[in-house]
A = this chain, B = another copy of it.
Amino acid sequence: MEPVKVGLLGLGTVGGGTVTVLSRNAREIARRAGRGIEIAHAAARAYDPEAIEGVERISRIAEDAFAVVEDPQIQVVVELIGGYSPARELVLRAIELGKHVVTANKALIATHGNEIFAAARERGVMVGFEAAVAGGIPIIKAVREGLAANHIEWIAGIINGTGNFILTEMRDKGRDFADVLAEAQALGYAEADPTFDVEGIDAAHKLTILGSIAFGIPLQLDRCFTEGISRIEAQDVAYAAEMGYRIKHLGIARRSADGIELRVHPTLIPHRRLIANVDGVMNAVLVKGDAVGPTLYYGAGAGALPTASAVVADLVDVVRALTTDPNNRVPHLAFQPDELADIPILPMEAVETAYYLRLTAEDRPGVMARIASILGEHGISIEAIHQKEPDEGETHVPLVMLSHKVNEGRMNQAIAEIESLGSVRGPMVRIRMETLAG
């Protein structure tokens, strides 16, 4: 049987990795897929042929990405350029031409996925995006197919390797955020402008996609609450550890009685949880289904070959499904397009979590009572309270508290009142806390 002809857009990190995997494992992939997969036409502005193993197997490489999409022999377009434009135009044009698409572009899917999937449905083509979430971990397939029997209750994931590397180093070495970030940049784990990773934007893209396939709702990136890790301090990492917790930057999608929570923020989790032990640049996603209970998926969330592993798995899926009836394929967002639900995504003020709180207060009688009374007035009950040792000659002491679950709106009010007390110095630190049980 003729190999399937693929058009590849982009020969950067993931594009190069895809070329390498398809070349290195060509025989084994064909033994699985039933036919070969050939990159018949690729587009790249600039690339280093010496740096890409297998690049010599590509029949034609030019600069024009649209020419690849238009090339009549191309059956599947693999978009690995990234960004919004011209990625969106290229993908939509490929779909218009009746070609299947595979992409690793999380920003594109999270932002324009609804439009892209509608167009794909119209034309009866597949759009694979396994590589867009958690790199090489087959998490889209696990949630969309492997857990298809379940009412999914929640997902919590470490889905940004840079952020996890920084938090792991902060914990292991007691170092500060800025210090570790500089090291991560030197090692190439973090970009020169790290905003995308450390402020949770990248994680929000991935979480938006996970939330949609878990709960059967349209993609709504703008409703995702996002808080980064840049304000986490070494002392909070240390205090959390003393109390048996680790701080991880989690993406959490949860179905509650009132709607869906979609939130990315630093989170204290019990150190005995398996996901609390996922360190360095590795990713992991914990999924709780009503039938299966908790399941966890762990692996490399980025990098040339791991991401290519997901791109090529999508290609194999597309090859196997080329002859299928478009209406019987796995739906893009796990649920049939006319079965997507209109469940509201809750504003953060309506979300309930437990909290880690730290403040600096005057070390004299009555202060603690006043703080406790404000919390009590807002219905916030405290599970643990630790007064730390004051520095020599210091009149104020750090106070660390763990709260039970409470509505975030109420917590915001309580924090504002406590911060306005004359006996409290500076802003309070507030880090959300999850048990990840039940």
Contacts and interface: CB of A to CB of B under 8 A. Distances in A.
Interface of A: 17, 21-22, 24-25, 28-29, 31-34, 130, 136-138, 141-142, 145-151, 216, 274, 277-278, 284, 289-300, 305-306, 308-313, 315-317, 320-325, 327-331, 334-336, 339
Contacts of A312: 148-149, 291
A76 to B, nearest CB: 14
Contact of A291 (B21, B289, B316): B21
13 contacts: A24-B291, A25-B151, A32-B335, A141-B142, A142-B142, A148-B312, A274-B278, A290-B305, A293-B306, A295-B300, A320-B328, A323-B328, A324-B328
A291 to B, nearest CB: 4
Nearest to A138: B146
A136 B331 CA distance: 22
Contact of A292 (B151, B274, B290, B299): B299
A410 B339 CA distance: 62
B294 A296 contact: no
A138 B145 contact: yes
Which 6 A-B pairs rank lowest in CB-CB distance, beginning with the nearest?
A138-B146, A149-B312, A295-B299, A136-B292, A292-B309, A31-B339
A328 to B, nearest CB: 5
A20 to B, nearest CB: 8
Contacts of A322: 328
Nearest to A216: B31
Contacts of A130: 146
Nearest to A276: B277
